[in-house]
Amino acid sequence: MNSHDKPSGLVGELEGVEGLEVETGVTLSGFSTFRIGGPAEFLVRLQDRSALEALLSAAGRLGLPFEILGLGSNVLFPDEGLPGVVARLTGNLASFQFQGARVVAGGGMALAKLARLAAERGLEGLEALSGFPSTVGGAVRMNAGSYGVEIQDVLVETCVVDRDGRSRCLTVQELEPSYRRTILQGSGSVVVSATFQLREGSAEKALGRIEELNRRRWASLPSGRPNVGSIFKNPEGEYAGRLIEACGLKGSCCGDAQISPRHANVIVNNGKAKAWQVLELMLTVRQAVDDRFGAQLVPEVELLGSLRNRWQEALDQASEGSR
C-alpha cells in the first residue's frame, strides 16, 4: 500500500490501535429506547482505557465532536444524526470486581446488572437504583437517583479520562453532586470506573427489595411504547408531571410523539415519531408550565447535536420576547 492508499480521517488516525472498532453511518435509533435518531458519522466501540485515550487524542486533532453513549435510555438523537464520534464502552470498561463490601465497576457496565449481582452476594445499597436504565458512567455523571437513594450515597470515587487524554480520580465530594447533577456534566470527561461502598446484608432481602421496587417503577410508567422515562427534572419541592398535567397537556400529540396519557412527564413514540416533534412537545410543555406556575422546567433527557442548540435558541427567543 502506498501513501495515497492509506485511510484518512479518523479511521486513518486509529489504524493499528488495538481495543477499538470503528463503524460509519450506523443509525442511532437502534441505540435509543426512544427509537429515534439518524446516523452517527463514526460509532466507536472501546474495550480499554488506552483505546479511549487514543480515540480522544485522534478526535481532538481532527476537531471532531465527541459523545459517549450508554444504554440510550436518557438521550434524544437528532433526526439528521450526529457528526463526529459516538463512543460506547465495552470489554474492560464494562467489567466489575468485588472487593469485600466494595465493588469497582467500569463506566460501561449496566447499573441494573451491577445492583443485582451485588444483591446476589448479600451486599445492600444499590437496590433502589436497580431499575435505573443506565450505565454506571451515566449514573455517576448525573448523580442518578430513585426512591430516595442517589449514586452519591454509595459512591466512594470515580476515575475519568478528560478530553485531553489525562486520567484522574475524583472523590464523591469532588464531584459536587446535587439533584441530577455533578461537575462532570458538560465537562467532556468520560467515566471509566467507579468504586461503590456497599454494606453486608441479606441476599434474600436485597433481591426481594429489587423485585418490589421494579414492580412499583413499571406500574407507574407507560409500557408498550418507546420512551426515555422522565423528560424533565422535578422543580424543587414539586413534581414536573403534576405541573404538566395541571396545564391540561396529558395526551397531547405532535405527530407520533405524545405526552403519555398515563404519566405527564413521559413522552412516548407511537410509531414514527421524529426528534423535532419530541422537541416541539417539550417546548410547548415548558412554556405552558412557565406561564401558569412561573416554573422553568429543565430537561432530564439529554438533547444531543442540533437539538441542544435548538432548545437553547428557543429559550433565548422566549427570554427576548418577555422583555
Q: Give per-residue pLDDT as tens, 121-130.
A: 999 999 999 9
Number of domains in the chain: 3
- For residue 267, the model assigns a pLDDT of 98
To the nearest whole percent, how much of the chain has pLDDT over 90? 86
Q: Is residue 4 part of a domain?
A: no
**75 lies in the same domain as 180:** no
**110 lies in the same domain as 201:** yes
Q: Is residue 6 part of a domain?
A: no
Q: Is residue 302 part of a domain?
A: yes
pLDDT-derived band at 164, boundaries 50, 70, 90: confident
**167 lies in the same domain as 257:** no
Active site residue 180: yes
For residue 4, pLDDT beyond 60: no
**186 lies in the same domain as 251:** no
pLDDT tens column, 286-305: 999 999 999 999 999 999 99
For residue 167, pLDDT beyond 80: yes
**210 lies in the same domain as 101:** yes
pLDDT-derived band at 5, boundaries 50, 70, 90: very low
**123 lies in the same domain as 211:** yes
- Of 185, 218, 251, the residue at which a domain comes to its end is 218
Residue 85's domain spans which residues? 17-91
pLDDT tens column, 238-261: 999 999 999 999 999 999 999 999
Q: Is 176 helix (H, G, I), strand (E, B) or coil?
A: coil
Q: Please report, as a single letter, which amino acid is at residue 39.
A: P
Q: Is residue 9 part of a domain?
A: no
**161 lies in the same domain as 81:** no
- Of 55, 70, 91, the residue at which a domain comes to its end is 91
Catalytic-role residue among 134, 230, 252, 260: 230
How many whole angstroms separate alpha carbon 125 and alpha carbon 206?
Answer: 8
pLDDT-derived band at 8, boundaries 50, 70, 90: low
**266 lies in the same domain as 232:** yes
**103 lies in the same domain as 214:** yes
Which residue would you say has higher pLDDT here, 133 or 104? 104
pLDDT average, residue stretch 274-281: 98
Active site residue 300: yes
Please tell me the pTM assigned to this model: 0.89
- For residue 322, the model assigns a pLDDT of 67
Active site residue 41: no
For residue 2, pLDDT beyond 50: no
C-beta contacts of 239-242 below 8 A and 24+ residues apart: 239/265, 240/264, 240/265, 240/289, 240/297, 241/265, 241/266
Spatial neighbors of 203 by CB under 8 A, at least 6 apart, are 119, 120, 121, 122
Phi, psi of 322, deg, nearest 5? -90, -5
pLDDT tens column, 10-22: 999 998 899 999 9
**278 lies in the same domain as 303:** yes
Catalytic-role residue among 35, 116, 163, 180: 180
**128 lies in the same domain as 202:** yes
